[in-house]
A and B are shown apart, each in its own frame.
Chain A
Amino acid sequence: MRAAHRRAPGEPRAVGYLYVLPALVVYGAFLLYPFGQSVWLSLLHWDGLTAATWAGSDNYRDLFTDPALRAPFWHALVLLLFYSALPVALGLLLAATMSRIRVRGLTFFRVVLFLPQVLAMVVVGVAWRSILAPDGLLNDTLDAVGLDALSRPWLGDSTWALPAVGGIGTWVGTGLCMVLFLAGVQRIPRERYEAARIDGAGAFREFWSVTLPGLRAEVAVALTLTIVAGLRNFDLIYITTSGGPGNATSVPAYEVYHRAFETNQVGSAAAVAVALALMIFTLTVAVSKLVEGRRG
C-alpha cells in the first residue's frame, strides 16, 4: 500500500527542506524581508537620518491627494499605452497579415526584432537620447522631408517628453510582441482558416474569429511582460529625462529613487514602491483572469 502511494505526485521526504533551505535563506533575507520592511517604512515619516515617526496611512493618502504624487501614476498609465498596448496592436497587425502564408528567413527577422530586448536599458537610453536630441536623427529626418515645423527638442519639451519616452518603450516592446505572435500564429491549425474561408469570412472577420482567439495565450504573455517592463522603467527615465522637464516624465519607479535617495522622503518613497508593486501584481492577475475567463 505504501508503495502505491509513494510515486505520485512526489516522494514524501523531509529531506526536501534541506534542498530548499539555502535558496530560501538568500531569498528570504534579500527579497522577502526587505519587501516587508518597505511596507513598514511606508507607514512612517522618515528622512533617513533622524528618528522616524508613525505616519499610519498618511503616505498612502498622499498618493491620492498630492498632485506631485498623482502625476507619476498618471504618467505610468499613459506610458502603458506606449509600452504595452501599442506593441501588442502592432504585433497583431503583423500576425493578421501573415496568418495565411509561410515566411522565409524567419530566424533572421526574429533575431533582429528581438534585439532591443537584450540591450541594457542604459544603452537604449543613450542611443535614443542621440536620436531625440535637437540635432538628432529624428529632427534631421523631419527637416529632410520638409516637416521642419514638427522638429523640436523632444526630451526637453514639456508636452512631448512623455510621448517621446513612450516611443522608446514602443521600440523596445514591439519586437517582443511580434516574435511571440509570429510563433503563435504558425501554431494555429490551417483547417480553421480554410473553414473560415468556406464560410465566406473576409480578412477582417478571419482575424477576429480565428487569428485573435488562436493567439489568446500569446497576447496574455505579451501583455504581462510589457506591463511589468513598462512599470519597472526606472533606468530609461533616469538616463533620458530624470523625470523632467519639470515633472513631465516622472513615473513611480523614478519617484521611489528620487524621494528615498535625493530628497530624504523615505516613508513616502516606500509608499510609492509598495503601491507600484500592488499595481504590477493587480494588472498581472487581471490579465491572466481576463484570458482564462474567456476560455471555453
Chain B
Amino acid sequence: MSTRGERLLTYLILGFFSLVALTPVIGVLSTALGPQSSLSTGFTLPEGSPEWGNFADAWDRGHFGTYLGSSVLVSVAVVTATTVLAVLAAYAFALMRFPGATVLFYLFVLGLTLPQEALVIPLYFDLRELELTDTYWALILPQTAQSLAFGVFWMRTYFRNSSPTVIEAARIDGAGTWTTLWRILVPMGRPAISTMVVIVFMWTWNEFLLALVMVSDESHRTVPLGLAFFQGQQNSDTALLAAASVLVALPVVAVYLALQRRFIEGMLTGAVKE
C-alpha cells in the first residue's frame, strides 16, 4: 500500500470516529437550544434563533441550580479530603519502611478493582443506622474512600520517582519528614497532584449509584441524580432535558478541554500496575 493511500485511510478512519464521537454531543447541544414542547423525543434543530432561555428554565424550574450547589459541595469535600489523605499515605508508602507497609499498600490497590456495587448495600444500611442517609456525609465519606485507592497508588508513584538528592539536601538542612513533604515534595509535585485532582473531581461529579441509594430528599440531590429524576418525569420536555444534560456535563468538559493531557494521562495510567 502506498503511503499516500495509508495517509488517506488513516484520516478517513480518524474523521469518521471523531464524527461518531461528536454526534450525540452535538445532538444534545442542538436540542438544548431548540424549541420547548416539541413532540419529538429525538434530537431537534433550533428553529430560528437559539433558545438560551432553556438553560434558565432548567436552572430554575428544573431545580438544577440547587443540584449544582450539592454537587459542588460534595466534589470540593471529596477532592480536598482525598488529596490530603492520599498525599500523606503515599508519602509514607513511597519513602518510609515499616512492617506491614507492603500489605497495607496492596489493600489500597485492591480498591481499584472493587466495584461500588459490592459496597453500596451495607453502606446504605450502616449509614441509615447512623442517620446519615440524606446528608452530604453519605456521599462524601464513601466516595473519599473509593478515590483513595487511586490517589494513594498515583501519589506513591510520584514520590517514588522524586529525586533522592533533593530529599537528602532537605534532611541535611535539618528539615524533618513533615517539613520535607509540605515545603519541598508537594510544591514540586503540582503536576502529579493536579492530575489526581481532576480525575477525582470527574469521578465524584459524575457519580450516580451512590447518590441514588443514599439520597431521597430533593435538597441533597446531585446533578446526575437530578437529571435521572428529570428524565423519569412523564412530562419532561426534550429541550429542557437536553439543556439540563448540558448543565450536568459542562463543568467536567470545561476542565477536560483546559487540562486534557492530565485527564488522559491520569485515566490511562490509573489501571497500570507497576
Contact = CB atoms under 8 A, between A and B. Distances in A.
A261 interface: yes
A38 B119 contact: yes
B141 interface: yes
Interface in B13-28: 13-14, 17-18, 20-25, 27-28
Nearest to A253: B117
Chain B binding surface SS class: helix
A100 B6 CA distance: 8
Contacts of B126: 34, 37
Given A136-B42, A171-B24, A257-B209, A41 B122 contact: yes
A232 B9 CA distance: 34
Contacts of B81: 26
Contacts of A135: 40-42
Given A17-B98, A20-B104, A34 B6 contact: no
A273 B88 contact: no
A32 B94 contact: no
B144 interface: yes
Given A101-B7, A111-B257, A274-B118, A119 B249 contact: yes
Contacts of A257: 117, 120, 209, 212-213
Contacts of A122: 206, 208, 224, 227-228, 248
A23 B227 CA distance: 32
Interface residues of B, number: 97
Interface stretch (A6-14, A57-65, A157-165): A6-14
A116 interface: yes
Given A12-B96, A119-B206, 17 more contacts: A11-B97, A16-B92, A26-B81, A30-B123, A34-B119, A97-B6, A103-B11, A111-B257, A120-B206, A122-B228, A123-B248, A127-B27, A221-B271, A225-B267, A231-B115, A256-B120, A270-B122
Contact of A19 (B89, B107, B146, B231): B89
Interface of A: 7, 9-20, 22-24, 26-27, 29-35, 37-38, 41, 48, 90, 93-94, 97-98, 100-101, 103, 107, 109-124, 126-131, 133-137, 140, 171, 174-176, 178-180, 203, 217, 221, 224-225, 228, 231-232, 234-235, 238-239, 252-253, 256-257, 260-261, 266, 269-270, 272-274, 276-277, 280-281, 284, 288
19 contacts: A16-B93, A16-B96, A16-B97, A19-B92, A20-B101, A30-B144, A31-B142, A37-B126, A100-B3, A111-B257, A122-B228, A123-B249, A130-B28, A130-B41, A137-B23, A176-B267, A203-B1, A238-B212, A272-B117
Contact of A94 (B13, B104, B111, B231): B13
B164 interface: yes
Contacts of A101: 3, 6-7, 10
Interface string B154-168: 000000000010000
A27 B110 CA distance: 11
Contact of B21 (A35, A115, A131): A115
B116 interface: yes
A228 B88 CA distance: 28
Interface string B239-262: 001100100110011001100100
B115 A118 contact: no
